[in-house]
């Protein structure tokens, strides 16, 4: 499939000629989840899809009522608890469909290993138990209880945006930093209960955590005094300090493409805008390095392990899509996905798979 030109970007600033057309290498794959929800408990399937061939494999599908992936559930855009970490597999929060006793309930941070040939579905591996941490209430028996989270590239740290820790309700939304066994290392409370964290990302060495903050509310309930608080924040996990890095209304964040850079998806114009641009920031200074136009509203972004390919989940003209961009050019490729009406898409990140001939997964 040929790469398609988007809204014009400064090609000269990207340092390439229009004739260049990078091709995704064999074995490069992205991971995404599709969740169906309705009158019954939601069901999630997780797929790994090779970019160059379009072949996809089913990695996981909910089959047990008592243990399922908590992803994009209950129709809430604030819930998207899943991360694919190149070389380590896919991390997801798992638990029963409902939590009849929230004060005692423990979900589990789990890992789905990715076999090189993707020949079979993955059995979840338990990483550590996690107390109920997201929902304060839910008409669906706490379907919406999985927080957005980030995993460091080496799997040694986790960062979660939470509203509670088990039975303890927190006064303000808080980022919890956890070690590899689930032990708490640090809490970062937001400045107000009228703010929330839309996305998080660790630096390659896990010493820094970048996170996006947005104000809560709609056109009737939004506190405009919270608008200046919106933007990208940077936390030092060793010094336990955090600072405001860059202003804007950011929905998604990813560390890269270079180790000292952060890419963030920003709404163009006011907070109600459904148009986005990808802005690359220098992590130390917060200065903008470059900007890339995107198509539609953006829910998630992820850089491949080598920092060469950017995956972007978009909603454009009511179509859920994943676009793939190369680091050196200003145009991208929409990937063909089998997402049906009523299903919810969630881009989880990247993976590498073997390139041997395989039989496609139905």
pLDDT tens digit string along 18-27? 446 788 899 9
What pLDDT digit, counting tens, does each position of 227-283 carry? 999 999 999 999 999 999 999 999 999 999 999 999 999 999 899 988 899 999 999
Q: CB–CB of 107/86 below 8 Å?
A: no
pLDDT for residue 224 is more than 70: yes
What pLDDT digit, counting tens, does each position of 73-105 carry? 544 544 567 999 998 999 999 988 777 777 677
Mean pLDDT, to the nearest integer, of 210-225? 91
Q: CB–CB of 66/96 below 8 Å?
A: yes
Report pLDDT for 317: 81
What pLDDT digit, counting tens, does each position of 42-55 carry? 788 999 999 999 99
Neighbours of 255 (CB within 10 A): 25
Is the alpha carbon torsion for 309, 311, 316, 321 positive or negative?
Answer: positive
- Does 357 reside within a domain? no
How many domains does the chain fold into? 1
How far apart are the C-alpha atoms of 156 and 181, rounded to whole Å?
Answer: 8
Residue 318: CA count within 13 A, CB half-sphere: 3
- Does 96 reside within a domain? yes
Using pLDDT thresholds of 50, 70 and 90, give the confidence band for residue 141: low
Report pLDDT for 159: 97
- 89-95 vs 82-85, strand pairing mode: antiparallel
> Does residue 14 sit in helix, strand or coil?
helix
- Does 5 reside within a domain? no
pLDDT for residue 11 is more than 60: no
- Does 362 reside within a domain? no
Task: Give 242-302 as a DSSP string.
Answer: EEEEEES-EEEEEE-SSTTEEEEEEESSSTT---EEEEEEETTT--EEEEEE-SSEEEEEE
pLDDT for residue 10 is more than 80: no
Report pLDDT for 355: 65
Residue 25: CA count within 13 A, CB half-sphere: 11
Percent of the chain at pLDDT exceeding 70: 85
How far apart are the C-alpha atoms of 234 and 231, rounded to whole Å?
Answer: 10
Q: CB–CB of 141/100 below 8 Å?
A: yes
Mean pLDDT, to the nearest integer, of 163-184? 94
**CATH number of 135's domain:** 2.120.10.30
- Does 10 reside within a domain? no
pTM above 0.75, yes or no: yes
Instruction: Give the residue carrying structure tokens 């991390």.
Output: 91
- Does 341 reside within a domain? yes
**Max alpha carbon distance in the chain (Å)?**
60
DSSP state for residue 91 in the 8-state scheme: E
Instruction: Give the residue carrying structure tokens 């638990």.
Output: 95
Report pLDDT for 73: 53
Range of the domain at 155: 24-218+226-352
């Amino acid at each position: 499939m040929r790469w398609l030109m988007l809204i014009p970007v400064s090609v000269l600033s990207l340092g390439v000629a229009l004739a260049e057309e990078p091709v995704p290498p064999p074995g490069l794959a992205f991971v995404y989840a599709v969740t169906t929800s309705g009158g019954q408990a939601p069901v999630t399937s997780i797929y790994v899809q090779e970019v160059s061939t379009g072949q996809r494999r089913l990695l996981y599908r909910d089959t047990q009522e008592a243990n399922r992936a908590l992803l994009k559930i209950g129709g809430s855009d604030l819930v998207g608890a899943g991360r694919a970490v190149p070389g380590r597999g896919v991390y997801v929060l798992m638990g029963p469909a409902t939590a009849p006793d929230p004060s005692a309930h423990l979900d589990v941070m789990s890992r789905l290993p990715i076999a090189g040939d993707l020949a079979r579905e993955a059995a979840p591996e338990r990483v550590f138990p996690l107390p109920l941490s997201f929902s304060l209430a839910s008409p669906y028996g706490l379907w919406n209880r999985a927080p957005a989270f980030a995993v460091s590239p080496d799997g040694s740290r986790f960062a979660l945006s939470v509203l509670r820790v088990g039975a303890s309700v927190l006064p303000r939304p808080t980022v919890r930093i956890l070690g590899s066994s689930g032990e708490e290392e640090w809490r970062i409370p937001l400045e107000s209960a009228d703010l929330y964290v839309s996305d998080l990302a660790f630096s390659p060495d896990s010493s820094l955590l970048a996170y996006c903050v947005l104000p809560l509310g709609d056109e009737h309930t939004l506190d405009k005094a919270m608008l200046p608080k919106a933007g990208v924040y940077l936390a030092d996990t060793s010094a336990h300090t955090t600072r405001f890095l860059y202003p804007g209304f950011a929905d998604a964040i990813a560390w890269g493409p270079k180790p000292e850079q952060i890419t963030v998806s920003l709404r163009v114009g006011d907070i109600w805008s459904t148009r986005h641009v990808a802005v690359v920031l220098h992590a130390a200074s917060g200065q903008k390095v470059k900007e890339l136009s995107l198509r539609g509203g953006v829910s998630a972004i992820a850089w491949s392990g080598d920092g060469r390919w950017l995956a972007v989940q978009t909603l454009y003209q009511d179509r859920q899509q994943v676009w793939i961009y190369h680091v050196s050019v200003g145009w991208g490729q929409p990937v063909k996905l089998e997402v049906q009406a009523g299903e919810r898409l969630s881009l989880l990140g990247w993976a590498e798979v073997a390139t041997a001939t395989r039989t496609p997964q139905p």
